[in-house]
């Protein structure tokens, strides 16, 4: 016997059409071949600092390092910036146009904190390292190091720094990080 209800026939056809579109939209389940979006200096990366979690921006290019944390009155309590240089050397940082007190650590190539300094807001006097085998500088909000027990001899998770460099499109090996 033929179904004479046109409403039922229309609903069945609509349901079949929706099901067909749903199945077609599901695809094969394969992930996209598109490359992940490359990160920039404004992105934050989780990095362990002396056993505590920090959210760091990674400054690699000279223009990023020159700007640093300038004009940033809103730095989060666990946010900071790590400056990555190609080779070990004497490092120098200043606080031009930086309105918030910061902690500064200079690190060796293997991520050991060698020197720690307190930086005053807007102080344009350079803070130059005493040692010449330093390759990274880390800035965190003032008082962060003391609150987290970070001092010379503490370590920064260089695997996390390497992952951040890769996400930024840089080869960690170029900076001596394995």
- Residue percentage of the chain with pLDDT more than 70: 80
pLDDT (0 to 100) of residue 72: 84
CB count in 10 Å sphere of residue 44 = 17
Res 159: pLDDT = 97
pLDDT computed for residue 17 by the predictor = 47
Spatial separation of the C-alpha atoms in residues 2 and 40, rounded to whole Å: 65
Digit-coded pLDDT (tens) for 47-85:
999 999 999 999 999 999 999 999 888 889 999 999 999
Q: What is the pTM of this model?
A: 0.79
Mean pLDDT score, 135-152: 98
The CATH label, of 3.40.50.1970, 2.60.120.1140, 3.40.462.10, 2.160.10.10, for the domain at 45-175 is 2.60.120.1140
For position 19, what pLDDT does the model report? 44
Which tokens is 76 given? 């989060």
Confirm if 116 and 151 have CB atoms less than 8 A apart: yes
């Amino acid at each position: 016997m033929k179904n004479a209800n046109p409403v039922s026939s229309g609903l069945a056809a609509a349901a079949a059409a929706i099901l067909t579109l749903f199945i077609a939209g599901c695809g094969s389940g394969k992930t996209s071949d598109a490359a992940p979006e490359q990160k920039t200096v404004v992105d934050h990366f989780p990095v362990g600092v002396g056993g505590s979690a920090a959210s760091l921006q990674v400054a690699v290019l000279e223009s990023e390092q020159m700007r640093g944390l300038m004009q940033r009155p809103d730095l989060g309590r666990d946010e900071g910036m790590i400056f990555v240089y190609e080779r070990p050397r004497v490092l120098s940082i200043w606080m031009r146009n930086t309105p918030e007190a910061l902690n500064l650590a200079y690190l060796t190539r293997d991520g050991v904190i060698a020197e720690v300094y307190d930086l005053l807001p807007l102080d344009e006097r350079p803070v130059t390292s005493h040692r010449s085998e330093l390759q990274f500088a880390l800035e965190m909000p003032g008082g962060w190091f003391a609150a987290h027990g970070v001092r010379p001899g503490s370590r920064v998770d260089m695997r996390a720094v390497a992952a951040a460099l890769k996400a930024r499109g840089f080869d960690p090996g170029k900076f001596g990080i394995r």
